Amino acid sequence: MSLQEYKDILHNGLWKQNPGVVQLLGLCPLLAVSSSVVNGVSLGLATAVVMALSGASIAPIRSYVPNEIRIPVFILIIAVLVTVVQYLMNAYMYGLYVVLGIFIPLIVTNCIVLARVEAFASKNTALPSALDGFAMGLGLTAVLGILGAFREVLGKGTLFSGIDLALGDMAQGWVLHVLPDYKGFLIAILPPGAFIGLGLLIAGRNWLNLRAEQKARSKPAPAPLASAAQG
Amino acid sequence: MKRIARSTLQTAINLVFFAVLGTAILASVFFMTHDAIVKSEEGEKLKLIKQIVPSALFDNDVIQDTLSIPASELLGTEDVTTAYRARLKDEPSAVVLESVAPDGYSGKIALILAVRANGELAGVRVVAHKETPGLGDYIELPKNPWIKGFDGKSREVYKDADWKVKKDGGQFDYMAGATITPRAIVKAVNKALVYFGENREQLFAASEPKKENRK
């Protein structure tokens, strides 16, 4: 694999095929944990690690798994990896484990993990598969982080609340009170806030994309050919 | 026919192989991390105990001065739990009990509470819960001081009818939109205090002979 292909994998995960706002997969944690930046980013990163590991471990064995049972086997491997990550976090990152609590096992049910394994890792070698999983996970993390920031500021008027649970006591004073004396806006914290915020994010991404396309079109010469080739 | 049977068997063996492999990996990671998990959970418990039992209240080694408590309906426990006794100059000053509120909005809520020798609550903390994030989780201390509302309360001051959230005619605050959670906790704390009242003597009895950590 060439460097360009690796770059494409990264670009796909973070922007072009972003799981959160383009593929619209993995919405379950989006709704559940994006009520604050710290929760969103932490679960996003845990998902990214699981996705990288599942890509790396499924790609090498893909030729040994009969087609008929590949889904159960993939799910089994993902479930094992998630549980391993859960044990490790419980043992060595207890604060974060307490924050994310019941959402960690839910990574198994996050369809983006299975989707990438099925769409990418079952057809590629280990290294690109790991990178693909990680890039997709980072794309999801970015969406969870932005959505978390949006909901936290609007709902509670703070940013980074609970960061001491993720990074230890030294981070105690890092919480930003963006809107002092804010009374709170409950709907932003509740699930509807996640739907509304996600809708705004998707619209924002589409708008940026459209603008970029228009810019490319208004420039003369090679643009049409190149975009047609990329399809 | 034979061919189909054979390929089915092969597929089944394949699936079993991955299942066994997965189980083996999980089992080994479990044993590798088990001690660290127990330790971090105990460490967390210690931190909690120090939060709810003021350090002026004891001079003994609270973590070592334990008593095994059988499962109790009043405490909501289904297993043997450990009580920690705080003593000042060998006089019992407080006891730390574990209690479970079985009727939270999303299942059990595990509590730890410290009761002073006079039956007054020194403090209550939630150890584990599955309440709705952003809604029912104000029972956690870093998020909200609600749980501190129990400090200093006792069954001397508040009668049974007072051990309810204000919505139900009791004395305890709650937050609009999440009443089930505080209702469950208030009820559990009250029952734990009843348990304390009934078993006060045994709870403060002299240390049982030292045995290996038991759960």
Can you tell me the mean pLDDT for B70-92? 87
Q: Which residue of A has its CA nearest to B17?
A: A73
Q: Which residue has the higher pLDDT, B185 or A186?
A: B185
Confidence check: pLDDT of B80 > 90: no
Residues 6+ apart with CB under 8 A from B112: B45, B48, B49, B52, B96, B97, B98, B99, B124, B125, B127
Confidence check: pLDDT of A81 > 90: yes
Confidence check: pLDDT of A31 > 70: yes
Confidence check: pLDDT of B199 > 50: yes
**DSSP code for B207:** P
Q: What percent of chain B has pLDDT over 70?
A: 95
Q: Which of residues 62-81 of A touch B (CB under 8 A)?
A: 64-66, 68-69, 72-73, 76-77, 79-80
Confidence check: pLDDT of A231 > 50: no
Per the prediction, chain A carries an average pLDDT of 82
Contact residues on chain A for B41, CB-CB shorter than 8 A: 94
Is residue B113 within 8 Å of residue B203, measured between CB atoms? no
Contact residues on chain A for B144, CB-CB shorter than 8 A: none
Q: How confident is the model at residue A168 (pLDDT cuts 50, 70, 90)?
A: low
pLDDT computed for residue A180 by the predictor: 73
Most confident of A97-106, A151-160, A200-209, B58-67: A200-209
Tokens for B102, please give them: 């079985």
Q: In which region does residue B153 sit, left (phi positive, over 0), alpha (psi from -120 to 50) or beta (all else)?
A: beta
Confidence check: pLDDT of A230 > 90: no
pLDDT computed for residue A134 by the predictor: 92
Contact residues on chain B for A76, CB-CB shorter than 8 A: 18-19, 22
Confidence check: pLDDT of A181 > 80: no
The verdict on B133 touching A (C-beta cutoff 8 Å) is yes
Could you report the predicted ipTM of this complex, rounded to two decimals?
Answer: 0.71
Facing B36 at nearest CB: one of A33, A65, A92: A92
pLDDT computed for residue B135 by the predictor: 80
pLDDT computed for residue A1 by the predictor: 63
Question: pLDDT digit string (tens) for B30-55?
Answer: 999 998 888 887 777 777 788 888 88
Question: pLDDT digit string (tens) for A113-143?
Answer: 888 888 888 888 889 999 999 999 999 999 9
- Angle, CA A128 vertex, CA B18 and CA A139 arms, to 5°: 100
pLDDT computed for residue A229 by the predictor: 40
* d(C-alpha B190, C-alpha A204), whole Å: 52
* d(C-alpha B188, C-alpha B103), whole Å: 9
User: What one-letter code names the amino acid at B109?
Assistant: I
**DSSP code for B83:** E
Q: Which of A23-27, A72-76, B187-191 has the lowest mean pLDDT?
A: A23-27
Contact residues on chain B for A102, CB-CB shorter than 8 A: 130
Question: pLDDT digit string (tens) for B95-109?
Answer: 999 999 999 898 899
Per the prediction, chain B carries an average pLDDT of 85
Facing B133 at nearest CB: one of A35, A92, A98: A35
Question: A87, B14: Cβ pair inside 8 Å?
Answer: no
Q: In which region does residue A24 sit, left (phi positive, over 0), alpha (psi from -120 to 50) or beta (all else)?
A: left
C-alpha B87: how far from its chain's center? 22
